[in-house]
Structure 1
């Protein structure tokens, strides 16, 4: 087959749902009809649905595939034993069980490479919420692989969309729709059900983060007053071009499927990568984070981190503007706000925040051993207080404030969710990466800077020490507020 370009541009507005079409052989797609009596080139047609048939037009995700043999042609799936080198290291807990929901702030040291593991076995479930069988919630994984998936194997997840964030090494991904080469500082999304194979590029080990979205699909956030351009622009997303394999005689492939949090395998006598042409709105895609166009304050104050949202998956039941998952990044950018504490303020959010660092140093946290490091992570759960560590606060409170560029050579990101995110046993104990001194390092050393003005009213020092206050004192406070 002739060499094909790695990806083709997505043009047009993004839901992320502009209709795309691609042919590896000219004439593979039928004209006008989707399901003619006989498809061109003797192909089978197959419809892949990412949403309900009757979903609103702007949200409807459906793709027509024209392939050598249908995906239904395989033997029965069987559970993959834990002893298999391709087993899941940690399965998804069933609804409401096994996730450790705790309010403590957590931070992890960099996760190790596993030189023996290929893609499937390298998936370590760290945290999550909900249940894939109910299509509710999300899972958060660390992957760290040292070898390519075995030949003639493929993998898919029926549980959710995979948002993959490489931290080290290049992923050479062959999907049913075509190939994607995904590098650090890029991301890719592989929607639920789409089959793919992951190879290492140049045999270099890979490591990174994954958010598996059980509920809905990702789309670009609304821009509101920002206008028609900014943040992640639709033109910069890329999708594969059709690229197929002819392997359907005297061959055996193994198809691995993640279903309800468990892994199954089925044998089939043909390759799953036999799509000669496709068209529709449901497909894998990738994005270069370096193309993100950040906006920020040009006068005073630190805006909400929502201005750094790349992709969002709205949670309609939780109310307008709420997301089951947001993917947020903190790229290199200029800070110019005057008379302002420029790092993030201390905060407690209704959203849970899982952060990772792809490269460099994050400007709101100390780095180095015991700090926030590339390939590490942190989790600040719903309503758990967090913010800059002591050193960052002291520096930012007293520094001069000229225009300053922060984050050069750095890229931090956040998986944010309206759900209370629990931690697996692997994430809390087995991985042995939790920094037990995170609180002691970050916030316990914070100093008291409060100085009472001599003219202020309130409890005297003696009353404060004795814990004494009467109703008159309290009513005085209310009086002052009411004036």
Structure 2
């Protein structure tokens, strides 16, 4: 399929209406005694029924068979390094950590999207609806007649290598590198690989949902525009007597069930609880046009709020191509210690805060109150460079998962993956004492 094959509806958080067959949505009510074309009505709730209207998320699906038609779930036999509870088996360290690009599966093994998810770090417990997890995915084969849904939280998926052809109950989405998608809790989906291999990052939040950040003094424009988010339109399949496997992630464990029909048989749907995608190239960058380096919060694409107004569960932040024009200013990221944990990944190109070692497909973690900043080479060059207008980050895209949780690292992330750069700390080791106080006369 080409990109032109996919159809979307524009807007973030809208109440959408979508029909693959005209008049397949009931008129005037959600659950008539008999739905059009003898479809089944099924509600998918993303919030408590009694949640305030502004936060109430749900959709109605009108499908050929209800999703309840499947065999009992059984534990999946897997050696997968998938972690949702971060206990004493994980590693706790304040040390700065950087990973080289994570390996793609070898040609000797067939690994689909779900099988290729490995947990890198996280905090909390999905059973208590508190916390988040950072995952890496690598894959080299399609999810043939297999669908997946996550009972634990919402997935924000960031492709780094290879497009993802995602079929969801709401319709298909093609998500390429430099795009992201969000697939919320409970939504069934399947992933094919048009380019035969893929690698990327996943941010999973256990509590709340992603939303656009408040703009405050910025005003009504800037950052990510709601109209640039795209939600799939209804596109159904009608398959009977065809074996499908349904994989569920439930309380940190994988389960499997069988059914003899496709899970993607939704003929029509309406609501505001639906997956969506966004092209990062459409982000409208806000920055200083006078002096000083502005905080990275101005690059926030999406946020998942906590119960506290002061600390988000997670922010998704990008560092896209942009003009630097500040005067008398150290332009790269400043040295800092943060009350938030910062996981960074690189989709393409180079990151302006590091001169080498931070590569596409790799990552870094700077934990709460652990000092970090530009490496020695970047600091020296930026301290002496001519401050003329400069287009920064051309053909590059880096991002950050920022959270107020203290992240633990999984055994896979610290040892098994074999990608930790043990000498990362040395990038700052040559920062010299250049202090030059005035000489008393």
TM-score (structure 1 length as normaliser): 0.88
More strand by share: 2
Match of 2:365 in 1: 379
User: 1:375-426 deviations in whole A, cap 9, x for unaligned?
Assistant: 0100000000000000000011111100111000000000000000111000
User: 1:238-287 deviations in whole A, cap 9, x for unaligned?
Assistant: 01010111012x22211000111111000112211110000001000000
Give the deviation of 1:454 after TM superposition: 3.1
Give the deviation of 1:6 after TM superposition: 1.1
Superposed, 1:252-331 pairs within 5 Å as 252-316=243-307, 319-331=308-320
Gap change, CA 1:93 and 1:162, over 3 Å in 2: closer
Contact (CA 8 Å) 2:86, 2:408: kept in 1 or not? Answer: no
SS state of the match for residue 345, structure 2?
A: strand
1:245 paired with 2:237, answer: yes
Q: Distance in 1 between matches of 2:14 and 2:210?
A: 13
Contact (CA 8 Å) 1:252, 1:269: kept in 2 or not? Answer: yes
Match of 2:438 in 1: 453
Match of 2:63 in 1: 67
Superposed, 1:129-208 pairs within 5 Å as 129-150=123-144, 152-202=145-195, 204-208=196-200
Q: Which moved more, 1:95-104 or 1:319-328?
A: 95-104
Q: Distance in 2 between matches of 1:53 and 1:70?
A: 20
Contact (CA 8 Å) 1:354, 1:379: kept in 2 or not? Answer: yes
1:126 paired with 2:124, answer: no
Runs ≥4 in structure 1, deviation > 4 angstroms? none
User: Which structure's CA Rg is the greater one?
Assistant: 1
Give the deviation of 1:99 after TM superposition: 2.5
Over the aligned positions, Cα root-mean-square deviation in angstroms equals: 1.4
Where does the alignment leave 5 or more consecutive residues of structure 1 unmatched?
457-483
- Structure 2 residue aligned with 1:228, among 220, 228, 249? 220
Match of 2:351 in 1: 362
1:393 paired with 2:387, answer: no
Give the deviation of 1:363 after TM superposition: 0.6
User: 1:337-391 deviations in whole A, cap 9, x for unaligned?
Assistant: 0000001110000010000000000011012xxx101101000000000000000
Contact (CA 8 Å) 1:10, 1:20: kept in 2 or not? Answer: no
Q: Distance in 2 between matches of 1:59 and 1:449?
A: 53
1:49 paired with 2:45, answer: yes
Aligned length: 436
Superposed, 1:59-138 pairs within 5 Å as 59-82=55-78, 89-94=80-85, 96-115=87-106, 116-138=110-132
Contact (CA 8 Å) 1:253, 1:269: kept in 2 or not? Answer: yes
Match of 1:415 in 2: 401
- Structure 1 residue aligned with 2:201, among 189, 202, 209? 209
Where does the alignment leave 5 or more consecutive residues of structure 2 unmatched?
none
Q: Distance in 1 between matches of 2:305 and 2:434?
A: 41
Q: Distance in 2 between matches of 1:294 and 1:321?
A: 23
Give the deviation of 1:444 after TM superposition: 1.3
Q: Distance in 1 between matches of 2:219 and 2:151?
A: 36
Contact (CA 8 Å) 1:9, 1:235: kept in 2 or not? Answer: no
TM-score (structure 2 length as normaliser): 0.97
Contact (CA 8 Å) 2:84, 2:126: kept in 1 or not? Answer: no
Match of 2:6 in 1: 6
1:431 paired with 2:417, answer: yes
